[in-house]
Amino acid sequence: MPYRNLTPQQALTKLKEGNFRFSNNMSLNQDLLQQMKDTQHKQEPFAVVLSCMDSRTSAELIFDLGIGDIFSIRIAGNVITQGILGSLEFATAAAGSKLIVILGHTNCGAIKGACDDVKMGNLTALLDKIKPAIAKENTITENRTSANPDFVDAVTHLNIQHSLEQVLEQSPVINDLVKNGKVGIIAALYNIGTGKIEFYEDDAVIPQVQHEEKNVS
């Protein structure tokens, strides 16, 4: 499906509409085989979603989308790495996606592990990337562990915000695209119990008018 002319705001609206359908059991009847054939030579995903690897948070499903609609990048705790930044840059600067979504979720195992200071092989370094969100959380002084749902929720929210900030701080490519109105970026939280996604509009940078390239003759 051609999405090249969508604005960042329109891309966000499509995601909101898709999640509404999903969370209300109104998902579209997708012809996935036809979509596979339509996209075999070209893709134009309108958004890129960075989400957790949790088995319950498949972006294509919870946004009620089909093959070729979005780029889906998944890593435990939706943390930022050099590879993640490179993938986001490819999606936006090279492939033309109009919107970046940093999507966390409730009851996240990676967040809980970081809260409990879990140490296990290579996972240790990954969980360390969540530690800044834990340090930033200063409203809860007791039981700062995974046993406290309020603490986990607070760290989850801060971790999503931290990831968004890191994208803009560590990727001049994406920062320029956002500043020039070509790409929007927003944080969001998926509730694994209700299927609904809360978009953090106050933290978002969503251009209302698509940047138009001047024709060079």
What's the confidence (pLDDT) of residue 212?
Answer: 41
Residue 36: which of 1, 81, 88 has the closest Cα? 1
What's the confidence (pLDDT) of residue 167?
Answer: 98
pLDDT tens across 51-89, in order?
A: 999 999 999 999 999 999 999 999 999 999 999 999 999
Alpha helices per DSSP H over the chain: 8-23, 32-38, 59-62, 82-89, 109-115, 123-128, 131-136, 149-170, 172-179
Distance CA 41, CA 49 (A): 22
The alpha-carbon radius of gyration of the chain (Å, integer) is 18
Asked whether 188 and 197 are in contact (CB, 8 A), the reply is yes
What's the confidence (pLDDT) of residue 203?
Answer: 80
The class of domain 8-26+43-106+155-205 in CATH terms is alpha beta
Please tell me the least confidently modeled range out of 3-12, 53-62, 135-144, 189-198. Answer: 3-12
Distance CA 182, CA 204 (A): 14
Band (209; pLDDT cuts 50, 70, 90) = low
Distances (CA, A) of 54 to 51, 127, 189: 8, 15, 13
Residue 127: which of 75, 88, 175 has the closest Cα? 75
In this structure, the dihedral spanned by the alpha carbons of residues 123, 126, 132 and 134, taken in order and rounded to 10 degrees, is -40
What's the confidence (pLDDT) of residue 2?
Answer: 58
Band (130; pLDDT cuts 50, 70, 90) = very high
Please say if the pLDDT value at position 119 is more than 60. yes
* Residue in this structure with the two tokens 């968004």, named with its chain if needed: 164
- Averaged pLDDT of the chain: 93
What's the confidence (pLDDT) of residue 139?
Answer: 96
Q: Where are the domains of the chain?
A: 8-26+43-106+155-205
pLDDT tens across 89-108, in order?
A: 999 999 999 999 999 999 99
Angle, CA 58 vertex, CA 53 and CA 59 arms, to 5°: 110
Q: What is the mean pLDDT of residues 139-161?
A: 97
